[in-house]
């Protein structure tokens, strides 16, 4: 099992990738599916989102943590939850700064699960039930820098997987594992991206994104399909 603290680090080939963008892309994906969105496609630039928009589609995304002009919603789990009814049976095109890149990279290489603290338990139950052990956990980071909250989420996953029959952990996996018992509130307090979201008044997203295992969804896309649907 390999953990990558950034998607920019040369990622090996694995059958499954677990992509983490705790704040906030993979939390957004889990939330949208939990309120009944049909599926989520990921793009990494807004023009592409406008291009592939069909009927019954919502454009969701951010630049500099704010809603993209012309989009329906920002990359905001709490905003999605508040407008839950609007998401039922909708196709979602998601465009974010860092999460999109990690998700697209992973999905070009293997089956991809979008994970966050929000859907941690559901993801673990899926991985364990299917006895999946060829896993690359990719943390999205922020603009090429490692993100505390992503490595923490990886650690929370690894603390459970380390009790399974998985024989190899790379060095980053052991580093992440050592963070698993730090209180969530500490990570929220110290992470750079948390502080940025707090400063611009997005406290509701912070509180929600650190609510571990609130949602029972496993957003998964077949390799190369870029179509995240829930397995639960
Ligand atoms: C990203 O993909 O860069 C993040 O999800 C940014 C954010 O909206 O907080």
Domain 2-220, CATH = 3.90.1560.10
**Crossing angle (nearest 10°) for helices 192-199 and 148-161:** 130
Q: Stretch 203-216: mean pLDDT, rounded?
A: 98
Residue 166 pLDDT grade (very low, low, confident, very high; cuts 50, 70, 90): confident
Q: Stretch 46-67: mean pLDDT, rounded?
A: 97
Q: Stretch 205-230: mean pLDDT, rounded?
A: 98
Whole-angstrom distance, CA of residue 150 vs CA of residue 47: 28
Whole-angstrom distance, CA of residue 40 vs CA of residue 158: 26
Q: Calculate how far, in angstroms, residue 23's C-alpha sits from the geometric centre of ligand 1.
A: 6
What pLDDT does 210 receive?
98
CB atoms near residue 145 (< 10 Å) = 12
| DSSP string covering 19-50 | EE-TTTHHHHHHHHHHTT--EEEEESSHHHHH
Sign of CA dihedral 167, 13, 104, 99: positive
Ligand 1 pocket member 24 (CB < 6 A) = yes
| Whether residue 232 has pLDDT greater than 80 | no
From 19, 22, 24, 103, give the residue whose CB has the most ligand 1 atoms within 8 Å, as the site to mutate. Answer: 24
| Whether residue 84 has pLDDT greater than 90 | yes
Ligand 1 pocket member 124 (CB < 6 A) = no
Q: Stretch 97-119: mean pLDDT, rounded?
A: 98
Q: Stretch 110-138: mean pLDDT, rounded?
A: 97
What pLDDT does 199 receive?
97
Whole-angstrom distance, CA of residue 105 vs CA of residue 42: 11
Identify any residues that bridge with 66 across adjacent strands, giving them in sequence order. 63
Whole-angstrom distance, CA of residue 35 vs CA of residue 112: 21
| Whether residue 125 has pLDDT greater than 90 | yes
Q: What is the mean pLDDT of the chain?
A: 97
Q: Calculate how far, in angstroms, residue 61's C-alpha sits from the geometric centre of ligand 1.
A: 8
For 6, 22, 49, 93, 182, the CA distances from 148, given in Å and listed in that order, are 11, 10, 29, 27, 11
Q: Stretch 150-172: mean pLDDT, rounded?
A: 95
What pLDDT does 165 receive?
85
Domain boundaries, the chain: 2-220
% the chain with pLDDT above 90 = 97
Identify any residues that bridge with 135 across adjacent strands, giving them in sequence order. 16
| Whether residue 178 has pLDDT greater than 90 | yes
Ligand 1 pocket member 21 (CB < 6 A) = yes
Q: Stretch 220-230: mean pLDDT, rounded?
A: 98
| Whether residue 231 has pLDDT greater than 90 | no
Q: Calculate how far, in angstroms, residue 206's C-alpha sits from the geometric centre of ligand 1.
A: 12
ipTM: 0.95
What pLDDT does 167 receive?
81
Whole-angstrom distance, CA of residue 198 vs CA of residue 180: 23
Indicate yes or no: pTM above 0.95: yes
What pLDDT does 227 receive?
98
From 62, 79, 201, give the residue whose CB has the most ligand 1 atoms within 8 Å, as the site to mutate. Answer: 62
Whole-angstrom distance, CA of residue 78 vs CA of residue 205: 5
């Amino acid at each position: 099992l390999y953990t990558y603290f950034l998607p920019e680090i040369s990622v090996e080939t694995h059958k499954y990738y677990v992509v983490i963008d705790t704040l906030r892309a993979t939390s957004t994906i889990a939330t949208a599916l939990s309120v009944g969105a049909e599926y989520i496609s990921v793009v990494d630039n807004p023009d592409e989102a406008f291009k592939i928009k069909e009927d019954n589609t919502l454009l969701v995304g951010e630049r500099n943590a704010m809603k993209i002009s012309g989009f329906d919603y920002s990359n905001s789990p709490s905003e999605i939850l508040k407008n839950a009814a609007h998401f039922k049976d909708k196709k979602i095109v998601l465009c974010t700064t860092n999460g999109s890149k990690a998700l697209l990279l992973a999905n070009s290489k293997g089956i991809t699960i979008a994970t966050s603290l929000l859907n941690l338990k559901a993801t673990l139950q899926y991985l364990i039930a299917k006895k999946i052990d060829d896993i690359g956990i990719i943390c999205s980071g922020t603009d090429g820098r490692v993100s505390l909250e992503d490595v923490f989420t990886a650690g929370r996953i690894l603390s459970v997987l380390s009790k399974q029959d998985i024989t190899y952990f790379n060095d980053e996996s052991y580093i992440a594992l050592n963070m698993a018992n730090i209180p969530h509130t500490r990570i929220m307090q110290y992470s750079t991206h948390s502080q940025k979201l707090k400063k611009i008044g997005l406290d509701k997203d912070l509180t929600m994104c650190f609510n571990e295992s609130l949602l029972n969804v496993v957003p998964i896309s077949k390799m190369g399909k870029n179509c995240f649907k829930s397995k639960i």
